[in-house]
Amino acid sequence: MIYLRLILCLAGLFAISARAEEPAACCAETPAEETPLTPRSLYQLGATFTNDRGEAITLAQFRGRPVVLTMFFASCGYACPLLVSDMTRIQDALPPDLGDTTAYVLVSFDTKRDTPAALARYRADRELGPQWHLLHGDDDAVSELAALLGVKYRLEANGMFAHSNLITVLNREGEIVHRRNGLQGGLEAAAQALTAASTAP
């Protein structure tokens, strides 16, 4: 089975080699089930999220690619737009090949309003490219991920969330290798961490 998967993967690589503008999606998005996850890997989290196309996603599906991840909610009027624009600036600061293979993951706190359709609108409004993954999950999935990341959030009486402003960089195995805390600044350090994460195991 593993051998067959490798063959298919290699065949996929040859097939896309003539289209260099596309990332090697075949292998990058296939979990490398052959080796066990490390104890520090966030991909131990078994929770399932749903993306803005309505597809079920586990974070482990990002195994094999560096990841920039932040928790947010789509109707936030202040901090989250800044976090997203900082992630965009990190993407712009990377060499094109790394910028294209990195996954930019937004996970919503808002389990009620951030439906796939709401997240799809958010993607369209901000012109987020195919490397961006907008996810929502149930309360358990969101709180478990927040705890692992060290993100605090609270639903306020006005329906808005008070929350930490944290951008997290994961290496290809889903281990946290960098945190950017607060709003703006520190983008160069995040880009450097991503560059290191793209080569480290």
Three-state secondary structure call for residue 88: helix
Burial group, residue 189, by CB count within 10 angstroms (0-12, 13-18, 19+): middle
Q: Cβ of residue 81: shortest distance to Cu ion, in angstroms? A: 8
Q: Which residue is nearest to Cu ion (CB)?
A: 76
- Which CB, 12 or 186, lies closer to Cu ion? 186
- Which CB, 19 or 154, lies closer to Cu ion? 154
- Which CB, 43 or 122, lies closer to Cu ion? 122
- Which CB, 53 or 113, lies closer to Cu ion? 113
Q: Cβ of residue 51: shortest distance to Cu ion, in angstroms? A: 20
| Interface ranges with Cu ion (CB under 5 A) | 76, 79-80
From 81, 87, 105, 80, select the one nearest 164 (Cα to Cα): 80
**DSSP string across 167-200:** EEEE-TTSBEEEEEESSS--HHHHHHHHHHHHH-
Alpha helix positions (H), the chain: 2-16, 25-28, 79-93, 96-101, 116-125, 139-149, 187-199
What letter would DSSP give residue 41? Answer: B
Q: Cβ of residue 71: shortest distance to Cu ion, in angstroms? A: 9
- Which CB, 71 or 94, lies closer to Cu ion? 71
Q: Determine the Cα–Cα distance for residues 33 and 143; give it in Å rounded to an integer.
A: 26
